[in-house]
Each structure stands twice: as structure tokens, then as C-alpha cells.
Chain A
Amino acid sequence: MDATKLKVVNKPVTKMDALGLACGEPAFTDDMDFNGLLHAKLLWSPHAHARIKKIDVSEALKVPGVKAVLTYKDLPRVPHTTAGQGYPEPSPYDTYTLDNKVRYVGDRVAAVAAETVEAAHEAVLKIKVDYEILPAVLNTFDAMKDGAPVIHDEEDSKNIPDAQHNIAAKFDFEVKNGDWFKEADHIFEHSWTIPYLQHCAIEPHISIAYFDNTGRLVLRTSTQVPFHVRRIVAQALKIPVKNIRVIKPRIGGGFGSKQEVLEDIVAALALKTGKPVKLEYTRKETFISSRTRHPATCRMKAGVKKDGTITDAEMEITLNTGAYGSHALTVMMCSGSHTIPMYRVKNNIRFIGRSVYTNMPVAGAYRGYGATQGFFAWECLMDMMAAKIGMDPVEFRRMNYIKLGEGSPVFKAMGEGREGVEQVITSTGLFEAIKKGVDEIKWAEKKAKYASQTGPIRRGVGVACMMQGSGIPEVDMASATMKMNEDGSFNLLVGAADLGTGSDTILAQIAAEVLGIKADDIIVTSSDTDITPFDVGAYASSTTFISGGAVKKTAERVRDMIIEVGAKILDQKKEDLRLEGGKVVAADGVSCSLSEVANTSLYYYNQHQITASASHFAHTSPPPFQANFADVEVDTGTGKIKILDYVSCVDCGTAINPQLAEGQNDGAVVNGISHTLSEEMEFSSNGTPLNASFRRYKILSAADTPPVRTFIIPTWEPNGPFGAKSVSEIGINGPLPAVANAVYNACGIWLSEAPFTPDKVLAALKKKG
């Protein structure tokens, strides 16, 4: 199968919300005014680890305009997780809306709602807290030691495997086919680290809680997971799900940070005051008190034979989950499950994973989801091995990467928080992706040219290959509803959450393809728990594959209903009819318009609304593949790395919308390049963040960004809607290893601590001598 016959899918259909956004139409959470809106402010912990001995809010309540001050005394104590994952969440239940203990600088202490931001701020300053300061532990190594401060010493938390050693999650796995490293000619062992990284969605976390005219609580919120928000807020505040409606308007970027359910506190303030309340994080609060990527140390040990066969591979990853274990198990497992199967390992495989509590900011979901951490190690190790056996890194990868029809014991052993599924690769364009990348970057030519360089400026080329998943098999589920209008247009209702990714548009394209109409004949309503059917939300690279599958099934059911009515109108057999160009067309060429079908169904034949719903989940998670290539320049005098060219070739199956798919990949790659060159949260010795601003935590600007070229390599995934796989996350995993490998090619140093700042490069050059 291929996409050549498709009419709407695989076409650069205009993103349906783009013009309104480009014209500044009020579309985001904060773009609506509410009468009598109260403003929320939180008191954040100034200590990394402390118990609240006494908390006095009497002075805060006296500030004019203050309507409510909440502390842990005012709220039910419900252990839960803020991780917006499928139920039951695989993350430990270790979080309380408010608690009598604080576990990091920036943890919630109390919450205020007031008529103005200024009054709320003043009230926060007037809350008197008497803390018993506890010893803090700021790194995973110390946190796991016997006798380390126990961060979760409460008795009512659940699913913490070893609270005494601050282990929030652990998973070990081994495939053993004989003695370790018995066949290896060379054995390698090295560690790679990734620091605290922030998502930096340009819209900060923001939620408005208000009441509809029946008194139900409505959360208008910048979230990736409306249905999980509804469930977890209901759980945390002990109110019925039926009393909550969650609406996701347009949202200003997510990247995983808004897969986190932090809406409980603004909901609690609204319930307390009976008034609409807005909680908008400042940029600083977003940096410190929303979520981050899990900092990681990934040690890998592998063996290789002289002929290029990888004999054994061991990955030991230790993630710092911070004060709470949001996504602690699943990010850790994905760091192995999305990476180890990339290459065939002949004999033995071992994975040792730990997520460890520290008194540091809370990590969570972040685009790449563990694979970023894992691939940094695995792909750099690949180049180390290739260098030792004298093989070209591209050739070495070609020889070993997972091929069509092949599986891996890892797929079955490691799922997301539980056992995975058995699967084989049912589509791959990696061969073509590598070929395209080699051509575009001029691999051979540059390798030859760069082999004999002199002077302080050195150039090099590097490669990295990656895979990811497409949704979580047998966990993620999405559904859709369609109904037909008199003019032959359709409403499509989906629970899926468009974060700016364009999912509303590509889901419309899928429906339009099935129904033989144009995408703009589909009116999409998404992400409203009162109106749209269930969808787990936008994460795990699932929307195209899972929600797309649901929309395709729904549209097929609608198509069958249309054909039934069309058969009556045209007096033809159903099996002779098809939908094309907005009409029901018979084999002999007679036709009737969809509008006639709609009117007939509504007013004449067996009067009924043509409407259908369908749900979709999957038994496999077909990986998209990528080959990335970097051409870099290293100034050996200053340590500055300049990326001259970056080529990213992506196999995402059929790109439902190639233009939007390219955009997804461009963004992911540049985010990865930003991780590579500059990003890192810095902390003082007591765990206080030092650079919680865009001024000091530097993400790349247009001027900083090197040329990035995305190429889509078309393949056909038989399990995906119109051959599609996922595209949104995979690209972020490439830059760290591709650039590290290019720097090795340029000047012979291995960089293994992200980001590769000039001081680290110069230190490495000096060490090499």
C-alpha cells in the first residue's frame, strides 16, 4: 500500500485554527473575561525539606480583597499522583493537594484567592509558617544510601517500592543467552548525564475554575489531558466526576508539562469561595513548580565483535524524579524500551532502572519521555564501538539496526509501567532515511575532507538513529463521534487534545478521506469532557495513531449509514456505491449529493440522524524511525560548537499532513539542539533554582538556531490509519548523540555531559591534550 491514491490525507491541508491564531483571535485560556474573577497565588516552600509545625493565616485573611486562604488543614488528605496517565496510573500515589510537609524549594505550602493579584500576593507574604527544617538530599546517589533523609515518610502514600531508600520506581530485566561478554572482542563502559531541563511552553501553566448555571465546576485549563484532569481533580478533592467539566481551549504549547494535573488547587479555591478563580503561574513558577525532564545518569556497558556484531548490552539508568514520583516508573522504563531494541544484541541484555526521590523540583513527562536520556547513551556508545573496530558509524548502524519483521525480547518485557506487548516491526524506512541523510549531509565527502584538518577550527560529521512508539499498546484509548449536517458537512467530536500540533486538522483529514469530502467540510470540536467522547489525551505520541484510528472507524460507520440512505435514493445495491467528491456515486456513474442524503435521512427515509461513534486502541505500538546527521564546527580555542547543518530524516509512516509533520519534527529537533548547546537548570547548594527565567535559562532564538532540514521518508504502517505512525516526539532524541558524535569526529573528544557548553568542551580538549 502507499499513499499515492489518497485525496485529502498526505496533503498539506491548511491547519484549521491557524488563521484565527495569526490574527490574535481570543482563543487561549486567559483570553476570556469572567465577572468577579478572583486571582490565585500560592505560597511556595523556601526550604528543600521541612515539616510545617505551625501555619497561621489570620493576617493574610485580613488583607482587603482576600476571599480564601487554604492550607493542608482545609483540604481532604488524598494521596494521588499528578501524572495525567491512564487509570490506574503507574506512578506512585505520593502527592497531596496540600500537605504538612514540603519536599523541595517551590513546593506548595498554601493558596490564596483574592480580588486582585496584588492582594493575593500580599496575603501570601502574610502567611506565617513555622517550619521544622529537615535534612535535605539533592542527588540520587546520596538519596539511595542507607540512612538518607526519607522524603516520603508518610504512611498513607501508595506504590512506592522502597521509600526508605527514596526509590520511587524500579525495574530490572535480563535476557541471558550464555555468559556475559564471552564472545565480545571489545567491551565498553561509559556514563552519560542529562541535567534538569524545562519544557518552556511559551504560555505558562494557567487554569480558570468557574461554575456553570447549574453550579457544576468548570475548569478551563491549559492541559494535554482533559479527561485525566477531570478524574484526578475529582479524586483529589473527593467530588464526583459528574460535577466537573473540563474544557481545553487553544493551548500555548505543552511538550509534556501539561500532561500534569495541577488544577486541583484552583478548583479547591473556587469550591471554597464559590467564585471564578484564575491561577496563572509566572514564568519563574513554571520553571520551578511545574514539571521538568527527569535528570538522568545512564551507564551503558556493551560488547562488540570485530566483525561488528553487538554481543551484549547493559543499560543502567538512574533518574532523578525530584520530590514526587510523577511518571517515575514509565519514563524510566521507556528509556530502555524505546532504545535497546534499536539494535540487535546477540547474546545478553540487561536493564537496571531506578527513579529516585530527591528534594529537588519534580520531573514529569517531557517530549522524548526517557528515550532522550537512553538514546544519548546508546547512540554515543554505538560510535565508540564503531571507532574501536574501525567501522564507519553509518555502516555499523546499517548492519545492526532492527529490520522489518524483526522483534525484540524487550518489547514484551518492558511496557509502560507494566509488561509490554510482543511485536515485530511492521514498517520501517530507516534504510531510506539513512541513505537520504548520507546524501544530504554529504557524509562520505565530508568525512574524507575532515580527515586532514589543521588549525583551531575543526569540523566533523555525526549520525544518530532513533525510534519511539505510537501510543501505549493496550492502554491508550481514544474515541470519536460524528454527525452529519444538512449541507453534507459533518461535526467531528474528539476527546483528543490539540496542543498546537495540528491534531484537529489531521483528524479532520482522516475523516474527510473516508467520506470523500474536503477537510474543511468537517467541523472539529475537541477536548471538552461534557461534549466530546473520551480520549486519554495528547501524550505518548498517540494522537495520530490511536485517535486517528478512532476517527477512521467512526467515519467508516458514518459512510456505511450514508451509503444505506444513498442506496434508497439511487435505487442501487449498497455494495455498488462509494463516496467521492461530496457525492454517493454508483458503479454506473449515477450519483446523489451528500446534502440530499442528509435531508433524506432527516426528513424522509426512516427519519434518523446520521451519526456514529467508535473507539480505538491498539495491540502494538509501531515505532517511527529516524536518522539524524549533524555537521558541526568546534572552535578549539573557545570551546564553542557551531552546528553548520542538521539533517533529520523521519519515517512516520504516511504523514497525514506532511507540512504539519515537518513542523512537528523541526520543533522537536530544535528543542533537542537547545538541550545540546545551552539548556540546564542551575541550583544553589540548598536546592534553590538559580536561573528560573528565559533570560538565564537560555532556549534558542531564531538567530541562535542552526539550519535544520527535515525530510519525510514515506512508508506504510499496516496498523495505522492510512499507514500513519507517530511523529511528534522522536526528533528530540537525535541532537545530543548526533552532535556528540560529530564533535568526536571533529576533534576526538567524547562529550557525555549535557549541555555541551564551551567550558566543558575546552576542558575535554585540555584533558585529551
Chain B
Amino acid sequence: MKNIKYYAFPSTAKEAVALLLNKKYKAMALAGGTLVAKTLPDTVETYLDIRNVPIKGIKLQGGNLVIGAGATFDEIDRSKLCRSWAGGVLSAAAAKCSSQLIRNMATIGGNIARPHSFNIFPVVLLGLDAKVRLAVRSGAKLTDLPGLYAASLGLRPGLDSLITEIIIPAKTRKWRCEFIKLAKTESSWESYIKLFFSLEKKGRAVQSRICVGALSPKPFRALSTEAAIAAGAAPQDCAAAFAAELEAARAGEYRSAAASSLLRRFLEAVK
């Protein structure tokens, strides 16, 4: 932070993006700040505080759940809307983020802006087929979570664009979901593994999302496990498929064993 020359407090997303794109300022956008403020690159000369940008609300829009990127973990934890959506999995995940003091500061936008194994929300948003809206030079851009972390996006949120909202599609509203942070203690930052499971039955068809976080900076979907579930395999067989998939992802013996037994438990409970 030692090279900061300006602190800017823009009041609209447009204003913020204009400032980010102005070469004079060498700006970086921060919301809650938390760890990013502590490790700000020395190349940054303008600290762009986006707290006045109106991107905080949590609302229903066209049947979708729309979470402003500036919503804090604490706000998501307490939001009635989030608590009722998909069995409250977003709130449950928000509550699992380190400590109340961090939850009061850190935002969902900040949490997903860069891939990191500490992050809480990406694994959940991946599983909920969420879309992310960014304010960019030309206006707005919409992407899904894998797209946000793909090189093809061509953007660096916070440096040349701003994440403004996260859109959780209407179809997920009643999904049966579970978020698990398997860690040494409840308030550990680090975890062995983060898991998101969801399952929905439509007649005979079973659709699931089995997502894995914390093994690598970006979360991933366990597609062969999902396929096994869709094929109607027994819970222990789905769990075995999951264990194999995790082993292949170099999760190691412990994580594979623990995560697969958690999946089995989830599938048995759903039945």
C-alpha cells in the first residue's frame, strides 16, 4: 500500500470503471478489502473504494436471486431471501467463512474476483449455475463462473472491470443442497476440502451438482460422479466414483475417503 497517491470513492459503477481504465491512476477496486488491502501490489497508485457504489442489495429479479457484488458475507448469512433459497445453502456457506469480523467486511464480489483455495463462494456458485455480471468499458458483460476464471474472459476484475452482481437462476430455488467445509476447526480459513452437493429429481430423472473446492484455486464439478448419480447408481457406488475422481484430482487418500463418505451420506439422506 506504500505507493498509494489517491483514494477514490466513486458513486456509480460507471464512474468506477472509468477510473480503473484511466491510465493516469493505476487504480484497483476494493470493497471489503480484507486481505487484499494488506497485500496490495506496489504498482497500484489509486485505492478505489467502491463502498458507495450501489451494488449491495440482495433481491429477487425475474424469478432469479440477484446478489449485489458488494453484499458482505454477514449480509448474505442474515438475508431472509438467501436463507430460503436452495435450502439456505448460500447463507450456510457465508457463515462458514473464517470469522465474524471478516464476514462483516468481506464481500461476495471480492471472494470470487480471484481464484483462491481459501474462497468460499465459488464452489457454491458453480453448483448453482450462477452467472456473474461485470461492469466493463462497453457497459456490462455476463459470464458463468468457469467463464469468470477463463483466460478467454480477457478481463481482470477490479483492475479493468468491476463485478457488480451475481445471478442465481430461478430453477435452483428449491434444489436440495448442502455445503460442507471440512476443516480442522469451524473457523479455520484453510480447509481440507470444500464440497457442494445438490440433487433434484424430476420424475425419474435425477440431476445433481457435485462440486469440489479448496483442492485448487478454481473449484470443479465432478462430472463422472454426476453421471453415476444420473444413471441411478447406488449411493455407495456414486461415492466410489467420487473417490476415484478425487484421487485423480490428486486429493490424496484422506480427502477422497472423507469427501466420498460425505457424498454417500448426502445421497442416502436424500433418498
Contact = CB atoms under 8 A, between A and B. Distances in A.
Contact of A637 (B186, B188, B261): B261
Contacts of A695: 189-190
Interface residues of B, number: 18
A678 interface: yes
A121 B186 CA distance: 36
B257 A678 contact: no
A763 B257 CA distance: 10
Contacts of B188: 678, 698
Interface residues of A, number: 21
Interface stretch (A436-444, A490-498, A616-624, A699-707): A699-707
B261 A701 contact: no
A740 to B, nearest CB: 17
B178 to A, nearest CB: 13
Interface string B154-168: 000000000000000
A766 B192 CA distance: 18
Interface string B179-199: 000101111111010000000
Contact of A759 (B189, B190, B254, B262): B254
Nearest to A639: B258
A677 B184 contact: yes
A701 B187 contact: yes
B99 interface: yes
A700 B185 CA distance: 7
Contacts of A701: 99, 185-187
A554 to B, nearest CB: 46
Contacts of B257: 762, 766
Interface in B214-271: 253-254, 257-258, 261-262, 264-265
A700 B265 CA distance: 27
Contact of A639 (B185, B186, B254): B254
B97 to A, nearest CB: 12
Nearest to B184: A678
A135 interface: no
A637 B185 contact: no
B184 A456 contact: no
A456 B261 CA distance: 9
B182 A637 contact: no
A191 interface: no
Given A696-B190, A701-B99, A758-B192, A638 B258 contact: yes
A470 B186 CA distance: 36
B186 A759 contact: no
Given A637-B265, A695-B189, A701-B99, A757 B258 contact: no
B187 A703 contact: yes
A758 B187 contact: no
A759 B185 contact: no
Contacts of B264: 637
A704 B192 contact: no
Contacts of B261: 456, 637-638
Interface centre among A637, A700, A703, A766 (most CB of B within 10 A): A637
B87 to A, nearest CB: 21
A640 B182 contact: yes
A759 B255 CA distance: 8
A637 B192 contact: no
B184 A758 contact: yes
Interface centre among A456, A758, A766 (most CB of B within 10 A): A758
A759 B186 CA distance: 16
B185 A704 contact: yes
Contact of B265 (A456, A639, A677): A456
A762 B182 CA distance: 13
A763 B192 CA distance: 15
A35 B258 CA distance: 58
Interface in B36-56: none
B258 A698 contact: no
A432 to B, nearest CB: 34
Contact of B184 (A637, A698, A763): A698
Nearest to B264: A637
Contacts of A678: 184-185, 188
A92 B257 CA distance: 48
Interface string A618-654: 0000000000000000000111100000000000000
B140 to A, nearest CB: 35
B185 A763 contact: no
Contacts of B99: 701
B258 to A, nearest CB: 4
A758 B192 CA distance: 9
A704 B187 CA distance: 7
Interface centre among A638, A698, A701, A704 (most CB of B within 10 A): A638
Contact of B182 (A638, A677, A766): A638
A456 B258 CA distance: 12
Interface in A686-700: 695-696, 698, 700
Contacts of A700: 185
Nearest to A760: B254
Interface centre among B182, B185, B186, B189 (most CB of A within 10 A): B185
B185 A677 contact: yes
Contacts of B186: 701, 703-704
A757 B183 CA distance: 9
Nearest to B190: A696
Given A456-B265, A701-B99, A759-B192, A637 B258 contact: yes
A372 B236 CA distance: 42
Interface string A730-769: 0000000000000000000000000101110011001000
Nearest to B189: A695
Given A637-B261, A637-B265, A763 B187 contact: no
Contacts of A704: 185-187
A378 B264 CA distance: 39
B192 A698 contact: no
B185 A758 contact: no
Contacts of A757: 184
Interface in A362-378: none
A677 B183 CA distance: 11
A640 B261 CA distance: 12
A759 B182 CA distance: 11
Contacts of B254: 639, 758-759, 762-763
A407 B60 CA distance: 75
A695 B97 CA distance: 12
Nearest to A699: B185
A704 B99 CA distance: 11
A696 B254 CA distance: 19
Nearest to B2: A118
Contacts of A638: 182, 258, 261-262
Contacts of A677: 184-185
A762 B190 CA distance: 19
Nearest to B185: A704
Contacts of B265: 456, 637
B184 A762 contact: no
24 contacts: A456-B261, A638-B182, A639-B254, A640-B182, A677-B184, A677-B185, A678-B188, A695-B189, A695-B190, A696-B189, A696-B190, A698-B184, A698-B190, A700-B185, A701-B185, A701-B187, A703-B186, A703-B187, A757-B184, A758-B184, A758-B258, A759-B192, A762-B254, A763-B254
The 7 closest A-B pairs by CB, nearest first: A637-B261, A759-B254, A704-B185, A638-B258, A701-B187, A678-B184, A704-B186
Given A698-B184, A759-B254, 19 more contacts: A637-B261, A637-B264, A638-B258, A678-B184, A678-B185, A678-B188, A698-B188, A701-B99, A701-B187, A703-B186, A703-B187, A704-B187, A755-B184, A757-B184, A758-B192, A758-B254, A762-B254, A763-B254, A766-B257
Interface of B: 99, 182, 184-190, 192, 253-254, 257-258, 261-262, 264-265
